[in-house]
Amino acid sequence: MIVTFGSINVDFVYSVAEMPQPGQTLMAKTLRTEAGGKGANQALAAARDGAEVVMVGAVGDDALAEIGLQNLKAATDISRVSRVAEPTGSASIQIDAKGRNMIVVAAGANLMASSDAVEDDLLQRANIVLMQMENDVAEVEKLIRRAAASRTMSILNLAPAFPLEDQVLSLCDLLVVNEDEAETLAGWLGCDASAQVLSARLDTGVLRTLGAEGAEAFVKGKYIRLPAMPIDVKDTTAAGDCFVGALASALDRGLSLEAAMERASIAAGLACSRAGSQRSIPIGEETAKMIGTSTDHGGSI
């Protein structure tokens, strides 16, 4: 079982020919409204890949809450999602003709989510605690410390890259960053941005996604490098979240890190080939078909 403590947003997605420049007003080709948020996206990706997922977070007492929860209701346990006075989190997303995106997030209710909603019994029953950085940083830190104390595997997607103490980052079993987040983290630590150097500096596992170049990881002295799946990119909006969620699902089932990365890369590639945020996230059968087998590779991180 995976416990995801994270954000729940509603995405307002604008399709544009090119990204606006400062002071410029552009007319969008289309606008669509979708459920989103890094926490929700990753929880849904893990659930669609076959994992049992408990979503923990917060939404407002407003109309946007139902949009934000619509997909999670069908796929995850949302009994620990609280209703608060702040508005449901939202994001403005611009996607250009090349599939690139620019995103601005209003955290809203997400900053009111309490890690105390992950009770001790749930924490002990979970195989993995999955976190991101769109919630109150203090609450994320508390949960990292609790997961370490209970010896529950923790995965932190350091996105957005808000600073945490070295000691706290070192308590995570696996730190997942993209290239920009890795550069930011390396700047804080005063070291190179490679997975191997970051891992050595923090004394923990580090996985760095590299966009079209694939992903690399350095965990427990082992280096892994995998290419990305060749795809015709339509929309990269939820691809990173899809990768993290599918990765957590695979590790939850006992796959080796290398096999989990392969599965996650393919799931993310499928997401890139489709328009949309959560609607682009594939189900496990689709990912398995692209791998060429539905048989799990045994192992552990």
Catalytic residues: 241
CA–CA dist 96, 106 (Å, integer): 21
Closest among 234, 6, 254 to 134, alpha carbons compared = 6
φ/ψ (deg, to 5) at 232: -95, 100
Three-state DSSP class for residue 221: coil
CA–CA dist 176, 20 (Å, integer): 30
φ/ψ (deg, to 5) at 293: -160, 150
Closest among 142, 116, 9 to 56, alpha carbons compared = 116
DSSP state of 24: -
Distances (CA, A) of 278 to 116, 152, 291: 27, 27, 21
CA–CA dist 292, 301 (Å, integer): 22
CB-CB contact of 236 with 199 (8 Å): no
β-strand partners of 157: 176
CA–CA dist 247, 243 (Å, integer): 6
Centroid of chain to Cα 105: 15
